[in-house]
Structure 1
Amino acid sequence: MTTPTLTPTIDVEPTTANAVTDHFDTLAQTLTQARRHAAHLEAWGRELANRLGVGRRLLVAGNGGSAAEAQHLTAELVGRYREDRGAYSAISLHAETSSVTAIGNDYGFDQVFARQVRAHARSGDIVLLLSTSGGSPNLLEAARAAEDSGATSWALTGPGPNPLARLCDDAICLDGLSPHVQECQLAAIHAMCEVFDACVGKEPQS
């Protein structure tokens, strides 16, 4: 019987020794920078409450991690954030999988959000576009579609200036690396929800 040859182990210092603390340290720096936008986020939360409170809707779009944050926001508004309250109209466009795949197949991936905006958006609605780069072609097309539809467009992006921020009616640009921008997008979403809930109150809609 042949004895298997064992590969000797080499005792080396792990390259991941400081990965977690380094991540948290750089995230803390990005969050500190994000605090500069506190008043701006409060204004967005109030405006969102004003518009959704009179029957307007929110359309949200993003790619990858930003898509996950977009869907997180719509879940908080259609469901609830903290306390029980009425349901509000909010649609995460990437989650419309049949529409996304049909539009992508028939018109190209650049149009997967724009065509939905043209279908759903009305004057007075808000189209919120999330991007770490601020340069995704499908989000740029969505911003153009929002303008054509008479909707208000907001961009929540990574460092500016960037093309998406320039195209939208209003923008908040978060300074930091792409992973930290996505993490701060979630913090920004929850901050807006705090303001939104404070404005609409706890009573269910009539």
Structure 2
Amino acid sequence: MNGNEETWVHRVQGILDATARALAAVKEQDAETVVRMAHVVAGAFRSRRRLYLFGNGGSAADSQHLAAEFINRFQRERDPLPAMALTTDTSVLTSIANDYDFRDVFLRQLRGLGEAGDVALGLSTSGRSENVLRALRWAREHGLHTLGLAGAQKTDMDVYCDLILHVPDAVTARVQEVHITVGHALCDLVEEMLYGAGASKNPMSPVRCG
């Protein structure tokens, strides 16, 4: 391996080390927060309520990724769980942005779809995305459970979230990498809580139909 290749290898190793440090910090500080979030989501599903996920850019992709894990499956063969990403309908998103304001693209969807007892999960690496904040504020005011995945800084997002997880890193890419890992942990826990060996056998749980 020549010198240039070694430099690139070291760069990759540095990126992976940085991600590992961020994950280790969350492991030590916030594993309990993930468990508490899972209880909220699983409880909502048991009560036949829905989960709404939303964010911008990479967080939009994470929202639809995680919604797919709930609607389809994660690790277990089980019934679909009612989760929806508010980032995927281009007609809805562009009409709201065009007729009203981009800051309202998630808020108006929640106003039309959300009900008390549902869960609103907002993702923002900065914690300052105005469209995420507006949606979380409305959700909090109207009886939805509010969860957040954010970056290192405390912001107004903390005010509007019942539970929030901060990734202690200043690099957006590292924050996003931790968010999707935490999201996968959330999916795993919810599946186990609803369908694992110790899950309730209530035949009315966990999904809402129709």
Q: Flag whether TM exceeds 0.5 (same fold).
A: yes
Kept in 2: contact 1:158–1:175 (CA 8 A): yes
List aligned pairs for 1:60-99, cutoff 5 A. Answer: 60-99=53-92
Identity of aligned residues (%): 33
SS at match of 1:95: coil
Q: Which has the larger radius of gyration?
A: 1
List aligned pairs for 1:17-32, cutoff 5 A. Answer: 17-32=9-24
Alpha-carbon distance between aligned partners in 1 of 2:39 and 2:145, rounded to the nearest angstrom? 14
List aligned pairs for 1:138-153, cutoff 5 A. Answer: 138-153=131-146
1:109 alignment partner in structure 2? 102
List aligned pairs for 1:124-139, cutoff 5 A. Answer: 124-139=117-132
Aligned residues: 196
Structure 1 residue 196, shift from structure 2 partner: 0.6
Corresponding letter in the other structure for 1:70: S
**Match 1:50 to one of 22, 28, 43:** 43
Greater displacement, 13-22 / 144-153? 13-22
SS at match of 1:156: strand
Corresponding letter in the other structure for 2:12: V
Structure 1 residue 13, shift from structure 2 partner: 4.3
Structure 1 residue 194, shift from structure 2 partner: 1.3
1:181 alignment partner in structure 2? 175
SS at match of 2:59: helix
Alpha-carbon distance between aligned partners in 1 of 2:39 and 2:160, rounded to the nearest angstrom? 22
Q: Does 1:166 align with 2:159?
A: yes
Structure 1 residue 91, shift from structure 2 partner: 0.7
Q: Which runs of 5+ in 2 are unaligned?
A: none
Q: Does 1:192 align with 2:199?
A: no
Structure 1 residue 144, shift from structure 2 partner: 1.7
Structure 1 residue 148, shift from structure 2 partner: 3.4
What are the superposed Cα offsets for residues 149-204 of structure 1, whole Å, 9 maximum, x if unpaired?
32111111011312212222221111112101100111101111111111111699
Kept in 2: contact 1:85–1:201 (CA 8 A): yes
Alpha-carbon distance between aligned partners in 1 of 2:14 and 2:195, rounded to the nearest angstrom? 40
Corresponding letter in the other structure for 2:91: S
The normalised TM-score by structure 2 is: 0.87
Q: Which runs of 5+ in 1 are unaligned?
A: 1-10
Corresponding letter in the other structure for 2:63: A
